[in-house]
Amino acid sequence: MATAVATVYLPASLVTLFPGAPRRLDVEAATVAALVEALNARWPGMRDRLCAPGPSIRQHINIFVDGERATLTTALSPKSVVHVIPAVSGG
């Protein structure tokens, strides 16, 4: 599987926890799991904020690749756009 360069958009609530993390960045990764690992390599602890043991994407985190809801096994293609969006709840 070829490595893609994905444009990743992270939520403000996440980047405030990791000094130096931008809201938008480009990451080389073939899958969403590899993307999460690449983010964790740059900002240790980010994987734990995005993934639950198993591993799986945390219940209150949504990851979209090119507008479609993704899992950790979702493949990235060249020029993929990835949005990490925390779930919104309230009443």
Q: Locate the domains of the chain by residue range.
A: 4-83
| Six token digits for residue 77 | 């293609």
pLDDT of residue 57: 96
d(CA 67, CA 54): 25
Q: What is the pLDDT along the chain (91 residues), one digit of tens a residue?
A: 557 799 999 999 999 999 999 999 999 999 999 999 999 999 999 999 999 988 899 999 999 999 999 999 999 998 999 999 998 766 5
Q: What dihedral do alpha carbons 8, 58, 45, 40 form, nearest 10°?
A: -40
* CATH superfamily, region 4-83: Beta-grasp domain (3.10.20.30)
